Structure formats: structure tokens, C-alpha cells
Amino acid sequence: MLRFLLRRLLHGLLVVWLVTSATFALLHLAPGGPALLADPKLSPVERRAIEQRLGIDQPLLHQYAAWHRALLRGDLGRSFLYQTPALGTIAARLPDTLLRTALPVTAAQHPAVPLGDRVGRRPGPILLPLVTGASLLWLSLPGFWFGIVLIILFAAEWHILPAGGASTPGLEGSVVDRVRHLVLPVTVLALPIAAELLRYLRAGVRAASAAPHLRAARARGLTETAVTARHLVRNALLPLATVVGLQVPLLVGGAAVTETVFAWPGLGRLSVDAMLRRDFPLIQGAVLGAVGAFALVNLAVDLLYAGLDPRIRYSKA
């Protein structure tokens, strides 16, 4: 178990290093530069002074080594756009990002888990095609289009919910106002997650229901409730854990389009602004956080497998 944990940690660090290094190279090799250099009125002397102040006048390998040295000290650099430490800027957006991540995942499980279990065990001639069609529909809908439709209906036409933002000016401490601003973005993010969870859980329940050890458990006299709780649900939760493990880091570092549509002040919108302005420290910090979250969540899911399925062992992994 310890060897497996160390090996996965090393693999995770390797993935983080490869992705951040590729991001660093792509950012610095792409044409153009930070938004501070976009002013056509700048003279060559002023441009060189700005490049020197930002530290981008050095050779690429020198900048790469300097970035790693600063990273080992916990320093992600200084944002070109906000003129603040990149780590502090990212940390300021983290609470809204975590809230925007936790709520869709939690909300998606409430309809997906019972419905997936029901369809997996007793699909029926009407329920199965209905659920399958609905899940395919939600997976196919573009998030930005669905978000705009919700804004037009609930904000512009019916005036029920706010169109965007995290709070109404003057009501920043109101829980009710906060919830009203969360309804639309959480709905847009939760529905495709629920559809994917439903599909995987239905397949997992269907496969687990036909397993020989379930028939053996029933032959030993266990009630159907005990068979479901001890054997069926644990086996069916394996694919569910995989899907949730993949969705969480994607929601932490992704959903940039949804955050932009709803003007949600999270890491996704921050990353979009940083990319448009070529804010190298912010982009690299956001990528580092997203890849690090992906590696940690995948490691947690691998460890969770042992608790869900005792047959899994890591001694020879």
C-alpha cells in the first residue's frame, strides 16, 4: 500500500511537471506578449523597460529555471494584470470556485443515484429509453447556449433570478441573495454531471446485478435489502467514484465558459481574463492548481476503491 501511494505521488508530480512545463513553453513561444506591451504608443525603450520589470527579457531557459526556483519557495510570481501576487489572486477566487464545484456535484447525485439504481435494476420498456434519451440530451447541450437560454428566460423575461455575478451590490452578506445567484450556474453545471453519473451508475448496477456472488448471497438466505446494501451498491459505486473523481478537478479548473456567461468570480473566469491579457504568472498558477487537483483527486479515488471493493489490493500495483 505504501509503495503504491509513493508511486502514485511520483506519477502525479511527473504529470504536474509535464503539463506546467508544456504550458510555460506554449505561453512564451506563442506570438504576442502581455497586454502591457500592446500599447502602440510605447517606444522601444519603454517596451524594454516593461519587459525587464516583468522578467520576460531573459532567455526562455533562464525564465523557466527562475519560475521553478520561485515555485519551490511557494511563489507563483506577480500578476501582470492585477499587479498582485499570483498566489494571493488565485486564493481570493478559490472560495467561490470551491462553492461552484461542490454544489453541482452534490446536486447532481440526488437525482442520478436513485434513478440510476432504479433503471439499472428494473429498466422497464418506458423508463429506460426515456432516461437514456434525457441523459443524452443533457450531455449534448452546449453549456454556454443553455446558460444563455436560462438567462433570457429567468432573468430577462421573467425577472425571477439574477443574470450573473456572485451577489447583488449592497447584499453581499445575504444568504438568500447568494443562493439566487447560484441557481442558474449550478443548474447548467449539474445537469450534464447528473446525466453522466446516471449512465455510469445504471451500467454499474446492471453489471453488478448479474454477478455470481449476488446469487450466492441470496442463496445463503440474505434479504434483498441486505444483498443490495452489502454487495450491489458497493460494486456499483466503483464507476460512480471514477466519474466524480474526473468531474471534480474539471470543475475546479474548468467551467470557464459557464463562469464567463454568468460573470461568476471563480478561477475559470480568472483564467480566461489571464489568457486574454497574456498574464503568464496567473495562467501558470491556474494550470498548476487544476492539474494538482486532478492528480490528488485521482489518487483519492484509487484509494477509495479499496474501501468499496475488498478484492482490490495494491501490493503489486
Query: For residue 18, is it within any domain?
Result: no
Q: What is the pLDDT of residues 214-256, one digit of tens each?
A: 778 778 887 777 777 676 776 777 777 777 777 777 677 667 8
Query: For residue 194, is it within any domain?
Result: yes
Alpha carbon distance 27, 22 (integer Å): 9
Q: Please, which residues have CB within 8 angstroms of residue 116's CB and are 6 or more apart in sequence?
A: 197, 198, 199, 200, 201, 202, 204, 205
**pLDDT in the model for residue 310:** 64
Alpha carbon distance 309, 273 (integer Å): 43
Instruction: Check if the beta carbon of residue 166 is closer than 8 Å to that of residue 96.
Output: yes
Question: 263: how many CB neighbours lie within 10 A of its CB?
Answer: 14
User: Domain holding 233: CATH number?
Assistant: 1.10.3720.10
**pLDDT in the model for residue 62:** 92
**pLDDT in the model for residue 151:** 95
**pLDDT in the model for residue 125:** 82
Query: For residue 237, is it within any domain?
Result: yes
Query: For residue 214, is it within any domain?
Result: yes
**pLDDT in the model for residue 147:** 92
Query: For residue 244, is it within any domain?
Result: yes
| Domains: count for the chain | 1
Query: For residue 158, is it within any domain?
Result: no
Enumerate residue ranges in the chain where pLDDT < 50. Answer: 317
Query: For residue 137, is it within any domain?
Result: yes
**pLDDT in the model for residue 309:** 67
3-class DSSP state of 118: helix
If you search the block for the grid coordinates 483564467, which residue do you land on? 271
Could you tell me the three cell numbers for 129? 429509453
Could you tell me the three cell numbers for 25? 513553453
Query: For residue 1, is it within any domain?
Result: no
Q: Which domain holds residue 284?
A: 86-141+188-308
